[in-house]
Amino acid sequence: MAGAEGDDSLYPIAVLIDELRNEDVQLRLNSIKKLSTIALALGVERTRTELLPFLTDTIYDEDEVLLALAEQLGSFTVLVGGPEFVHCLLPPLESLATVEETVVRDKAVESLRKISQEHSPVDLEVHFVPLVKRLASGDWFTSRTSACGLFSVCYPRVSSTVKAEIRQHFRTLCSDDTPMVRRAAASKLGEFAKVLELDYVKSDIIPLFTALASDEQDSVRLLAVEAGVSIATLLPQEDLEALVMPTLRQAAEDKSWRVRYMVADKFSELQKAVGPEITQNDLVPAFQNLLKDCEAEVRAAAANKVKVFCENLPEDSRETIIMTHILPCVKELVSDTNQHVKSALASVIMGLSTILGKDNTVEHLLPLFLAQLKDECPEVRLNIISNLDCVNEVIGIRQLSQSLLPAIVELAEDAKWRVRLAIIEYMPLLAGQLGVEFFDEKLNSLCMAWLIDHVYAIREAATCNLMKLVEKFGAEWAQNTIVPKVLGMANDSNYLHRMTTLFCINALSEACGQEITTKHMLPVVLKMSTDQVANVRFNVAKSLQKIGPVLDSSALQAEVKPVLEKLATDQDMDVKYFAQEALSGTCPLISLTFKHTFS
Amino acid sequence: MWSSCWTYSLNLSSVPGDGDSQSRWCLSQVKGAVDDDVAEADIISAVEFNHSGELLATGDRGGRIVIFQQEQESKNLPQCHAEYNVYSTFQSHEPEFDYLKSLEIEEKINKIRWLPQKNAAHFLLSTNDKTIKLWKISERDKRPEGYNLKEEDGRYRHPSSLTTLRVPVFQPMDLMVEASPRRVYANAHTYHINSISVNSDNETYLSADDLRINLWHLDFTDRSFNIVDIKPANMEELTEVITASEFHPLQCNTFVYGSSKGSVRLCDMRASALCDQHSKLFEEPEDPSTRSFFSEIISSISDVKFSHSGRYMMTRDYLTLKIWDLHMESRPVEIYQVHGYLRSKLCSLYENDCIFDKFECCWRGDDSEVMTGSYNNFFRMFDRDAQRDATLEATWENGSPGCPLKTWRVSAGSRRKRNEIGVDCLDFSRKILYTSWHPQDNIVALATVNNLYIFQEKLN
């Protein structure tokens, strides 16, 4: 590759290599991202003997460079000469696995996990396992935390003696002095358990799990919960009660709310892992307690799970359990003191109606929905409204409409524009469920009122909403109900409202089709081209460009073009600009159709 | 200021002293300029040993942090144990201006806290009134060499001379210490930050201002959780502010905060997400007979520190040092008078604002002694087991180098014995607010105005 006299092809690579140590981080980063190009040019041997040693020492660099490096090395096997030489990648990744920055370390571990698969069983024991052991017994906790993530990838592929050593190392890390290492071990416990032989799960993992779940550090105990869920999926049903449940029960009643929160958060996974019988005997009371927890964060997490938990209850006893155990708690949560709890519940409570069926919904759930629709917190009401479809399927929306309407009206007029924005977004959905008649009667005026809201984001959302409504109810409906009102605004004294007319036309023209656009909208747009306000005029130009494709060619030629040409000579710079833009945007269209008609 | 740093190192030879007015403590080093006119920026505002005691950090009003490292050679020689030399100096905070509130934000370092060491580098948190920063202090002794397109000195090489690619190689170089900012935790405090404290879980820390305490994860700068908020709905009803706060050294869920009313609340983070309800309230009933206009001011907690064992907690108020057993809320188990003789001078101390000085306090590594500062460059040591106390002076002028510090007595009367000084002769502009005790050895560091003093206990 080394040419005799100044090899031109080397130049770009030389630049890349030099920039590996440029002072500008961005340039270093670019070079690192093209590391494969450099390695390819150097060839496998020089990559192994020169590039990798250099990279091993590069750990002083900025995090983003190190992160990129750690990622690159994960797919470098081919560039060092294939699986036979993959162990050459271990030194740089080992040093990256000890840096203090968590994201870099995690990426290095990810790459190590990846390349571990490319090691032959022999190489794994000769090169990879020693690395894991070095990390596991490193002086600094950064290296020991990294080790935790590597046990599970080598365990299945090594001899039984090495397996024993690996188990021993993992045990040691589970009782490490520093909470960081115990946290890392706890978070990998489940994954490690999965690759262990069942006997060792029982003899090794269970004691570790029990110890971590009663660690003095809250942050370790809460991670043990997740591990518990994974372990539970591995054990045969008859062992669960003795080996896992006491610890999990204890976690659900932990003194620290963060641990209980974790239990609540993982409840559906837990439920699946332990099966129907334990669910019925143990989890139902535990879930009740979590729903009644003294910490709002825990109640909110549990409330979020109400629907999934109920869905996954064994079918034969589902209704009874819900009616006698869960529903009473849910009823209390409806009037919880904390709004996050209420809104978490509101986001899932409607889902119960499909599970409980029509009669129960009407009798038990409907009062709750209605209460939540009147809740003082807008988020709760919004969450109910956004999930109406579930109820619609079961009892039809009519049952609710009497209470729904005041709730919607109130949200539509809420002082916070973000609340108004949220309810607008549900309008098309509501319209579809309530039907055109109900909509015309009760909601249409709201939709029109939003068009003249004083917040632009609301006006914009309102225009978009109209388009979706037209898509739902059809062009004829649009022509009769919406279009006249929209066009009426063209004569408003407020130029912002006149502009809203233009925005609506932009949004509606396609949905309304050529006839309505040409007949009703176009004249209004053209008339507005003489508006006093420049902003309106240039929006006319933009609108004409926008609705151009909907119009037929004669209208374009005869009506649009002259107006745009006139606007192109406007005294206002912006109007001129947008008119010219529109001309060049629509003119091809005009000339094209022109050609079509006359050829 | 440290470039022109004047170091006064002494050979600690034993000098015959005069009986019981001698202490076991000897001056080891003084750092900082010795001129009389002191630049405002050079005034030290924080002193903190790291967890091994190998490093000592100081912060100043100019926003700078200076880190001293214990000399490796001196470690092995017991008599000159405490030799610390400048290891790294960097600008931690710059003056800023909050345009929204039209408020100047000083660069003054309010607190420094070291993180437990996680790899070869060292990390510390530093804070001014508003912004907390995480710094990494690391060493570098290798640098890459070898370019393709230029010489090491920067001269360009013509691309046509390029015949083969060259990969840079790391070569040894002189040791370089770098301080780099790793995280900036900003915009979470409306009021002035008075404390930061790292949790024993090593992943979270708290920051306290006058009315709120926030909990941060070290890895995330974009969010923090409010765990205490004592701001009343109506600010006119404000009667109490948070003055100091610290995490328990072993129990990750426990922290305390002291208030301007002299009470300390212990909170359990397991109980709820918001710790507005304390689980313990350490407060001594007020003695109505000594009640005066100054009662509340002098009872304000200026510092609170857990003992290393985690069993006790020490609070400093204006006149006293109190040690509380965490199991007993009703009264402290030990009370030490720091400078009781000032009780009669409170009026003038109020007039010259000294009464608002915030003295820090610290524990000896084995919790058997405590130390805190006073005026006239005096500092006080209290031996808890022997119930002995000593008043020592941070000075390099009097006494021969290395001789044991003499102990002082402050008398109210006019007749003076040796080593006695009258209350009226005390210099209130020379005060020792910031102190730190080496976590294992008997070495203490304390800041007078712009000088850092390092003392060590003489070994018998």
> Using CB atoms, which residue from B120, B170, B202 is nearest to A180?
B202
Q: Cβ-count burial of A127 within 10 angstroms (0-12 exposed, 13-18 middle, 19+ buried)?
A: middle
pLDDT of residue A197: 95
> Using CB atoms, which residue from B117, B136, B252 is nearest to A217?
B252
Give chain A positions within 8 Å (CB) of B253: 218, 256
Q: Which residue has the tokens 């437990």?
A: B116
Lookup: tokens for B123: 């990390």
Cα gap A256→A270, rounded to integer Å:
19
Rounded to 5 degrees, φ, ψ at A79 are -75, -15
- Per-residue DSSP letters for A169-195? HHHHHHT-SSHHHHHHHHHHHHHHHHH
Q: How far is B420 from chain A, CA to nearest CA, in Å? A: 50
Q: Which residues of chain A have pLDDT under 70?
A: 1-7, 586-599
Q: How far is A92 from chain B, CA to nearest CA, in Å? A: 14
What chain B residue is nearest to A18 in terms of C-alpha separation? B147
pLDDT of residue B144: 86
Give me Rg for the CA atoms of chain A: 33
> Using CB atoms, which residue from A8, A20, A257 is nearest to B273?
A257
Mean residue pLDDT of chain A comes to 90
Give chain A positions within 8 Å (CB) of B120: 140
Q: How far is B163 from chain A, CA to nearest CA, in Å? A: 5
Chain Cα centroid distance, residue A519:
44
What chain B residue is nearest to A21 in terms of C-alpha separation? B144
Q: Give, to the nearest 10 degrees, the angle between helix A296-304 and helix A284-291.
A: 130
The full set of domains in chain A, from first to last, is: 474-587 (1.25.10.10)
Give chain B positions within 8 Å (CB) of A60: 138, 140
Is-contact B261 B253, C-beta < 8 A? no
Rounded to 5 degrees, φ, ψ at A516 are -65, -40
Q: Which helix (H) or strand (E) holds A132?
A: helix A129-136
Lookup: tokens for A114: 């990846």
Give chain B positions within 8 Å (CB) of A140: 117-120
Mean residue pLDDT of chain B comes to 88
Q: What totals of helices (H) and strands (E) does chain A contain, helices first? A: 43, 0
Give chain B positions within 8 Å (CB) of A5: 160, 163
CB pairs under 8 A between A and B: 127
Chain A CB within 8 Å of residue B173 CB: no
- The answer to whether the Cβ–Cβ distance between A60 and B160 falls below 8 Å is no
Tens digit of each residue's pLDDT (9 = 90 or more) over B414-450: 666 778 888 888 999 999 999 999 999 999 999 999 9
Which has more confidence, A353 or B36?
A: A353
pLDDT of residue B2: 44
Sorted by sequence, the CB contacts under 8 Å of residue A331 that are 6+ apart come out as A368
Tens digit of each residue's pLDDT (9 = 90 or more) over A235-287: 999 999 999 999 999 999 999 999 999 999 999 999 999 999 899 889 999 99
Chain A CB within 8 Å of residue B279 CB: no
**Dihedral class, residue B410 (left if φ above 0, else alpha if ψ from -120 to 50, else beta):** beta
> Using CB atoms, which residue from B118, B182, B270 is nearest to A218?
B270
pLDDT of residue A561: 86
Residue B80 has pLDDT above 70, yes or no: no
SS (H, E, C) A92-119: HHHHHCCCCCHHHHHHHHHHHHHHHCCC
Give chain A positions within 8 Å (CB) of B200: 179, 217
What chain A residue is nearest to B145 in terms of C-alpha separation? A21
Chain A CB within 8 Å of residue B175 CB: no
Q: Counting every residue, how long is chain A?
A: 599
* 0.90 surpassed by complex ipTM: no
- The answer to whether the Cβ–Cβ distance between B164 and A2 falls below 8 Å is yes
- The answer to whether the Cβ–Cβ distance between B138 and A60 falls below 8 Å is yes
pLDDT of residue B1: 41
Other Cβ atoms closer than 10 A to B324: 26
Mean pLDDT of B222-245: 95
Q: Which of B95, B279, B127, B117 is nearest to B191 (CA)?
A: B127
> Using CB atoms, which residue from A7, A100, A257 is nearest to B272?
A257
Tens digit of each residue's pLDDT (9 = 90 or more) over B85-112: 999 999 999 999 988 888 899 999 999 9
Cα gap B176→B121, rounded to integer Å:
12
> Using CB atoms, which residue from A51, A60, A294 is nearest to B167?
A51
**Model confidence at B128, in pLDDT bands (50, 70, 90)?**
very high
Residue B243 has pLDDT above 80, yes or no: yes
Cα gap A47→A187, rounded to integer Å:
35
pLDDT of residue A256: 95
Give chain B positions within 8 Å (CB) of A184: none
Cα gap A413→A435, rounded to integer Å:
22
Cα gap B398→B33, rounded to integer Å:
17
Q: How far is B178 from chain A, CA to nearest CA, in Å? A: 10
Chain A CB within 8 Å of residue B136 CB: yes
Chain Cα centroid distance, residue B450:
14
Give chain B positions within 8 Å (CB) of A28: none
Q: Which of A463, A554, A567, A443 is nearest to A510 (CA)?
A: A463
Which of B141, B165, B215 to mutate to test binding with chain A, by most A CBs within 10 Å of its CB?
A: B165
> Using CB atoms, which residue from A6, A216, A254 is nearest to B161?
A6
Give chain B positions within 8 Å (CB) of A100: 118-119, 121, 123, 136
Lookup: tokens for B61: 């009003």
Look at the alpha carbons of B392, B394, B400, B402 in this order and tell me if their dihedral is positive or negative. positive
Give me Rg for the CA atoms of chain B: 24
Q: Give, to the nearest 10 degrees, the angle between helix A339-348 and helix A378-386.
A: 10
pLDDT of residue B74: 58
DSSP 8-state class, residue A9: T
Tens digit of each residue's pLDDT (9 = 90 or more) over B197-208: 999 999 999 999
Strand order in B369-373's β-sheet?
B361-363, B369-373, B378-383, B388-393
**Model confidence at B81, in pLDDT bands (50, 70, 90)?**
low
CA angle, residues A126, A131, A137, in degrees to nearest 5: 130
Give chain A positions within 8 Å (CB) of B119: 98-100, 140, 142-143
pLDDT > 90 fraction of chain B, expressed in percent and rounded: 67
Cα gap B261→A113, rounded to integer Å:
56
**Dihedral class, residue B389 (left if φ above 0, else alpha if ψ from -120 to 50, else beta):** beta
Strand order in B224-229's β-sheet?
B195-198, B204-208, B212-217, B224-229
Chain A CB within 8 Å of residue B440 CB: no
- The answer to whether the Cβ–Cβ distance between B119 and A14 falls below 8 Å is no
Give chain A positions within 8 Å (CB) of B121: 100
Give chain A positions within 8 Å (CB) of B136: 100
Give chain B positions within 8 Å (CB) of A217: 200-201, 252
Lookup: tokens for B255: 């922290």
Cα gap A507→A505, rounded to integer Å:
5
> Using CB atoms, which residue from B147, B160, B253 is nearest to A18?
B147
pLDDT of residue B27: 87
Chain A CB within 8 Å of residue B120 CB: yes
**Model confidence at B460, in pLDDT bands (50, 70, 90)?**
low
> Using CB atoms, which residue from B149, B169, B203 is nearest to A18?
B149
Chain A CB within 8 Å of residue B312 CB: no
- The answer to whether the Cβ–Cβ distance between A102 and B219 falls below 8 Å is yes
